[in-house]
A and B are shown apart, each in its own frame.
Chain A
Amino acid sequence: MNQSAETKPQNNLLSKLGPSAKKAMLSGTGLILLFVAFCFIVPGGKFFSKDNLINITQQVVTYSIIGFGLTFCLICGGTDLSAGSSLALSGIVIVSLLSWGVPLPIGIIICLIIGILMGILNGFSIEVLGVVPFIATLGTQWVFRGLANVAVDGKPLYTTSIPSQAVQDQFYMLGGGRLSFGLPYSVIIMLVYGAILFFVLAKTRVGRQIYACGSNLEAAKLSGINATRTRMFAYCVSGFSAAICGILVTSRINSAQPMAGQGSEMEAIAASVLGGVSNTGGEGSIGNTIIGALIMGVLRNGLNLSGVNSYWQNVVIGIILVAACALEAYRHKKLT
């Protein structure tokens, strides 16, 4: 009754958007600026050519698929450092299975199930054993990487070990195949998978519960949400995404490398954060992750074409990451 000042209805468009949509608009603007900038910086219009754009999308596939899984983990307040190792392990699993003569669809299904199992292992050590997510997944990162190395004795496993040539070709089509005008299948897989996860996160019960757990765990538990099961689900999505990515990467480079995907979980986290997924949980969406992954892809590719060497690229990307977060923090401080 005595607090009349705060009720001022705002009916403009901005107030109807959620915080993650606002962040998506900001980072989307950044992406467009970067894109336009590289169009001018890179000599000879090489950047804005069809081949290069397709090249970028192919690079973005890795960041974004792992990023999708990590988005789930980050939103529910956790993290998953084991994604890169899960990627390598699932790549080795699929090639081994195929070389033992397992049919391709069954091999893929088994590989994806193993991805989910890796997620369950992460979830188990975090939720049941009570280890902090950062440490638990750091541990499983080494476990999975170690297992991948043990399985193949540290040497890469080539798809030429698959007995049937037809299966070899089919398997290569997954990650390396292209539509007639040059768009890789893996991009389509990424988009479909992203659309499904977007729907899960935005429109379903479990998605809403993931937001609830990340934004205030205590309140979520008191509202009758089974936090253990919800977060377990998030880690399973992360393991599953890593397995998909493992299959795609292995297929594209025609061999399963035990050291594949090293550090890709960090790049995926960077991509999610650049896109506007909150690192402390409760905020973000799949759209944010795609934008972030595009920023990373455009940056790497653009810097490459401008002739910046790869060590300096890391310096630049690191600075941009910190600067973006600092800008966000500054904006946040000014608002409140």
Chain B
Amino acid sequence: MDVQYNINMAHLKQLAPMGVINDREGHSNAEHYVDALRIRTPGLRQRARNLSGGNQQKIVLAKWLCNDVKLLIVDEPTRGIDVGAKYEVYELFNRLSDQGVAIIMISSELPEVLGMSDRILVVHEGTINGELDAKKTNQEEILYLAAGYNKTKKAQ
């Protein structure tokens, strides 16, 4: 599957109201997101699997952004991609949240969590173990909750 098909894959319903795909709209849509997310590709006809990990990640994001989302849940959005692409993904998230999109980011990288979020919910063994304000907290506090250390103290 090439870049254009991939970007349009999750919103085929809007592109094809009668089951027949509007290719011109699909092309301009793909072009728009390749520009907006700075996806580095030789062309829209390039196969997505030949792109770098970061650019593939951005294609996945583009796929869902087409649908005018109000809420975005991302699971480890920067895993396995290089620093430059990571930075662009962060920038994109900031821009989106400025536009009023709610983002729930699941991540296990503490610097990323501290840098990106407004509120941090720490999960330990499947339940939320505490809520922190990203402006006022640090890595120790997060790990303290993540390891479930507060629970062991109560038990004593």
- Residue positions of A touching B, CB distance < 8 A: 1-3, 6-10, 15-19, 203-206, 208-209, 211-212, 215-216, 219-220, 223-225, 282, 336
Which residues of the other chain, A, contact B6 by a CB distance below 8 angstroms?
A: 219
Q: Report whether B45 and A15 are in contact in the complex, using a CB–CB cutoff of 8 Å.
A: yes
B88 nearest CB neighbor, chain A only = A1
Q: Report whether A15 and B43 are in contact in the complex, using a CB–CB cutoff of 8 Å.
A: yes
Q: Report whether B10 and A224 are in contact in the complex, using a CB–CB cutoff of 8 Å.
A: yes
> Which residues of chain B from 1 to 28 have any CB-CB distance to chain A below 8 Å in the complex?
1-2, 5-6, 8-10, 12-13, 15-16, 19-21, 23
- Please classify how large the interface on chain B is, using the bins under 10, 10 to 19, 20 to 34, 35 or more: 20 to 34
Which residues of the other chain, A, contact B42 by a CB distance below 8 angstroms?
A: 6-10, 15
A21 nearest CB neighbor, chain B only = B45
Q: Report whether B84 and A7 are in contact in the complex, using a CB–CB cutoff of 8 Å.
A: no
Q: Report whether B19 and A208 are in contact in the complex, using a CB–CB cutoff of 8 Å.
A: no
- In the assembled complex, B63 has its CB within 8 A of some CB on chain A: yes
Query: Which of A3, A209, A224 makes the CB contact (< 8 A) with B40?
Result: A3
Q: Report whether A17 and B5 are in contact in the complex, using a CB–CB cutoff of 8 Å.
A: no
Q: How far is the CA of A105 from the CA of B50 in the complex (A)?
A: 50
Which residues of the other chain, A, contact B9 by a CB distance below 8 angstroms?
A: 208, 212, 219-220, 223, 225
Say whether, besides A204-B19, A212-B9, A225-B9, A7 and B1 are in contact (CB < 8 Å).
no
Q: How far is the CA of A7 from the CA of B35 in the complex (A)?
A: 12
Q: Report whether A17 and B21 are in contact in the complex, using a CB–CB cutoff of 8 Å.
A: no
- In the assembled complex, B144 has its CB within 8 A of some CB on chain A: no
> Which residues of chain B from 34 to 71 have any CB-CB distance to chain A below 8 Å in the complex?
40, 42-43, 45, 47, 49-50, 52, 63
Q: How far is the CA of A288 from the CA of B45 in the complex (A)?
A: 18
Pick 7 A–B contacts, CB within 8 A, sort by A: A2-B84, A7-B42, A9-B43, A211-B1, A212-B1, A219-B6, A336-B50
Query: Which of B16, B82, B88 makes the CB contact (< 8 A) with A204?
Result: B16
